[in-house]
Amino acid sequence: VTLTRREDYVAPSHWIRSVDLTFELEPAKTLVISRMQVEPNADRPGEPLRLDGEDITLTRVLVNGNSVSFHFDAGQLVLEKLPAEPFALEIRNTCAPGKNTQLSGLYTSGGGFFTQCEAQGFRRITYFADRPDVMAVFKVTLRADAKLYPMLLSNGNLVESGELPKGRHYAVWSDPHPKPSYLFALVAADLVCREQKIRTRSGQDHTLQVYVRAGDLDKTEHAMNSLIASIAWDEARFGLKLDLERFMIVAVSDFNMGAMENKGLNIFNTKFVLASPATATDIDFGNVESVVGHEYFHNWTGNRITCRDWFQLSLKEGLTVYRDQEFSQDMAGVASARAVKRIEDVRQLRQSQYPEDAGPMAHPVRPDQYQAIDNFYTATVYDKGAEVVRMMATLVGRAGFRKGMDLYFARHDGQAVTCDDFAQAIADANHGSALAERLDTFKHWYAQAGTPRLKAEGSFDADTGRYTLTLSQHTPATPGQPLKQPFVIPVAMGLLDAAGQPITGTDRVLVLDTASQSWTFDGLTAAPVPSLLRGFSAPVILEWDASEAELFTLLGHDTDAFNRWEAGQRLAVQRLLAAVRQGGDLVLDEAFVSALRSVLNDPALDAAFKELVLTLPSEGYLAERMAEAGEPIDPQKIHAARESMRAQLARSLHADWVTAWEQNSQTGGYRPDPVSCGRRALANLALNMLVLDGVAHGEPLWQGKALQRFKDAGNMTDRLGALAALVHGRSSLAGAALERFHAMFSGEALVIDKWFALQATAPEQDGQVFAQIKVLARHPDYSLRNPNRARSLLLTMTQLNPGAFHRADGAGYAFWADKVQEVDGFNPQLASRMARALDRWRALAEPFRSHARTAIERIAAKTDLSGDTREIVTRALA
């Protein structure tokens, strides 16, 4: 196993300025001819040229047309005694796309050819300097059977195409923009396309295309609309224009990632392209919009300016996630809908990134080392990276951030750069700003892992009318980083009076950049209620000993929607953890119930916001709160406490749930706008609670209504919501409904994924859900080979269903270990994702902890384990 270190970076010995690739495409053996123009790097004269290659067969190497000697070293092809002047290098090799089960490089899926090159897939196609700082102009010739592969696509513009003997045909593509190899793509398949021509604000004409399999054309309208909206948004918000005549999106059903931003030829997991009201939920529609936006935005933040090395991954990913989050908020429109999106993003961050930052895989946003770079496409690099960009935007202001982005492009367009370059540009465009004044300290966000604890203490002096707020920070040790320097933490805040009214003149952004600091507020007549970290202005854990009264005030009145929601979550967490500590019994108090009732019945609040407030913190989130408090996690006690609270809320708010259902269950013709989505979400939550309560009390009314809704639903959100109510409520009507759903959608792979996932998320009771998951793993429709299908059952269980996964007998872990081993045999990237499920095993209570260790050790004992999975289990056991 070799470790790659950030500090070992050296510039390449040679630049590859252009590549002319020819592919004779055949599943069993594809011939690749690569003709490169190579230029020695003047800073490193006389060095050998080392080219990466993996699982490919070399047949010929020519330098300026002559054979040369070469050897292999550590998997690389090494060429020595090369000309000191620019030279032509030709390489011929073969690869076997039909046998490429890793889905990295060139592979087949559904009878077509597709590629995935980020991060290091190009070396599985041909020998190359497969590193992002080597940027070349690509010309690509594809030759293939004309009947089987009527569409031949690659990056850039189509310059030539035609027939060949023996039923074959060809196409030549030319991409004028120099790019690193990870942005190369080709597709050869039987696809159809939705096409639209657009003229942008600046008067440029473009052709937009979405390619899918023949039966899926009716599911492409939303992706096309999202692409058009993305193009308009980037031009309006950041002045960034589409630089290509043609922009293509291709959907493929076997894909390890969500999507890939290859220059001009984005390749997408079908899950993030295909959406029709009948087959996709509101959440799917939102995901399509955000992923289409994300990949499109990469065209500037990622492709035009790329990463110098893979340690800088967050340069493009953190920034592009920030951009896609802003895009989705702008698309949502009004402030209340923006706040809903923000709450969802924060919930996601805390659900996935916080545990990562507290476990064995904790790493900085800009990591210092890796064994397998594929393991660092993480919530930290993406989602925490986005928060780091957002904090910069907060510190320089919206206009200042735009100026910073302008400077970043002016300086670095066409280059491969670092996170430092980005931060420097934002700061340099904003002299005298809160960022520029403390840039070095701010950059600790790139260098240090771990989630900072932000402690807040307020004191009020009645004699002077002065309120003093003291903020202090502390970040726990993470692997390899025992001691931490202070971070720059922007804390958006304001004060409320006891009645919950905002106190004029107290809204501000405090910037904590030392271990501890105090701020004072004068002229107050009574102790205020502080509203801290509004909008979640920094990715920290706020340790604030709020009284119940303060939290009720915030929940009922704060002007900041995020903190209203957060206060409700805190009230729920306190009750749930108290119950866990006391052995499970939970009796809900009227104060809490009536506060939730007020939210549910408040005509001034959006349904979407109500649904978020009324949704209890997840079991995973509760587990992390316990771990933060230094208490061993008992997933079963957490599950029991949360189920008990859900049952009580179902009962005590029964009449309110009925009202919520009646007011929100009819949304008319399907439109995925925020208001309709919010109403459907609240109606589904209400139905879920009503069925839960009905089953608990032997009342059939709402079970019958849910079944009727399931049958009559006019869209997938309503249909799946009703089905979930029956399945998750354990209604006796669930089994038949599940069968019917499966029969209705047997030809729709993405819907069958939902069918598996729904059953894998059912609240566990007496081991029945886990037993059912094991049965489903043997279902004829189940397969580990297709990543979406594999994830639908396994990752869904390990990530979203702790009650089923964490069993006192360890059977959940043993089942998981078997599957990780099996998947590792053919798809290491997918296996190493699955292997992360027990990252937090050391924080578990017994007997879970010992069983978990045994299961991880069992995976580690597999001698031929892939490097990807090996890195995960080694770190877990370290």
Binding stretches for ligand DPP (CB under 6 A): 118, 257, 259-261, 294-295, 298, 317
Query: 136-165: which residues touch Zn ion (CB under 5 A)?
Result: none
| Residue 543: CB minimum distance to ligand DPP, A | 33
Q: Identify residues 304-323 at the interface with Zn ion (CB under 5 A).
A: 317, 320
Q: How far apart are CA 565 and CA 558, in angstroms?
A: 9
Residue 565 token pair: 């929601």
Residue of 295, 387, 550, 566 marked catalytic: 295
Give the residue with the Cβ less far from ligand DPP, 380 or 473: 380
Locate tokens 């025992």: which residue? 482
Task: Output the smallest distance, CB 416 to ligand DPP, in A.
Answer: 15
Which of Zn ion, ligand DPP, none does 259 bind, CB closer than 5 to 8 A by kind? ligand DPP
Tokens, residue 368: 């210092």
Task: Give the nearer residue to Zn ion in terms of CB position, either 259 or 689.
Answer: 259
Please state the closest distance from residue 266 (CB atom) to ligand DPP, in A.
9
- Minimum CB separation of residue 302 from ligand DPP in Å reads 7
CA neighbours within 13 Å on the CB side: how many for 268? 30
What is the 8-class DSSP label of residue 180?
E
Minimum CB separation from Zn ion for residue 317, in Å?
5
Out of Zn ion, ligand DPP, none, what residue 510 binds, judged by CB under 5 to 8 A for its kind, is none
Please say whether the beta carbons of 149 and 193 come within 8 A.
no
Yes or no: say if 172 and 160 are a contact pair by the CB < 8 Å rule.
yes
* Known active-site residue 295: yes
For the chain, give the longest Cα–Cα distance: 95
The entry of Zn ion, ligand DPP, none near residue 118 (CB within 5 to 8 angstroms by kind) is: ligand DPP
Residue nearest to ligand DPP (CB): 260
In the complex with ligand DPP, the residue whose CB is nearer, 257 or 509, is 257
Cβ proximity to ligand DPP, 276 vs 299, nearer residue: 299
Nearest CA to 799 out of 828, 852, 838, 829 is that of 838
Spatial contact of 584 and 640, defined as CB atoms under 8 Å apart? yes
Cβ neighbours of 103 (radius 10 Å): 24
Question: How far is the CA of 327 from the CAs of 236, 321, 751, 824, in angstroms?
Answer: 11, 10, 27, 37
**Integer Cα distance of 479 and 449 in angstroms:** 9
Nearer to ligand DPP, 257 or 658 (CB): 257
The partner in contact with residue 240, picked from Zn ion, ligand DPP, none with C-beta cut-offs of 5 to 8 angstroms by kind, is none
Q: Which does 647 bind (CB under 5 to 8 A by kind): Zn ion, ligand DPP, none?
A: none
Nearest to residue 365, comparing CAs of 242, 481, 505, 499?
Answer: 481
- Residue 833: CB minimum distance to ligand DPP, A: 13
**DSSP conformational letter for 263:** T
Is the bond preceding residue 757 a cis peptide, omega within 30 degrees?
Answer: no
* Residue 370 identity (one-letter amino acid): Y
Closer to Zn ion at the Cβ: 339 or 379? Answer: 379
* Closest separation in Å from C-beta 832 to Zn ion: 19
Beta partners for residue 94, in sequence order? 31, 57
In DSSP terms, which residues pair with 189 in a beta bridge? 151
User: Is 300 in a helix, a strand, or coil?
Assistant: coil
Q: How far is the CB of 324 from Zn ion (least distance, A)?
A: 8
Q: Judged by CB, which is closer to ligand DPP: 801, or 832?
A: 832
Pick what 257 binds: ligand DPP, Zn ion, none; C-beta below 5 to 8 Å, kind-dependent. ligand DPP
- What radius of gyration, in Å, describes the C-alpha atoms of the chain? 28
Say whether 707 sits in a helix, a strand or coil.
Answer: helix
For residue 319, what are its two tokens? 């920034």
* Window 317-376: residues binding Zn ion (CB under 5 A): 317, 320
How many CB atoms neighbour CB 513 within 10 A? 17
Cα 642 from Cα 698, distance rounded (Å):
21
Q: Which is nearer to ligand DPP, 383 or 839 (CB)?
A: 383
Q: Which of 195, 66, 55, 207 is nearest to 127 (CA)?
A: 55
Interface residues for Zn ion in 573-612 (CB under 5 A)?
Answer: none
Quick one: 325 or 553, whose CB is closer to Zn ion?
Answer: 325
- Cα 284 to Cα 744: distance, rounded to the nearest angstrom: 19
Closest distance to Zn ion from the beta carbon of 320 (Å):
5
Tell me the number of residues near Zn ion by CB under 5 A: 2
State the burial class of residue 582 (Cβ atoms within 10 Å of its Cβ: 0-12, 13-18, 19+). exposed
Contact positions vs Zn ion (CB under 5 A): 317, 320
* Residues with catalytic function: 295
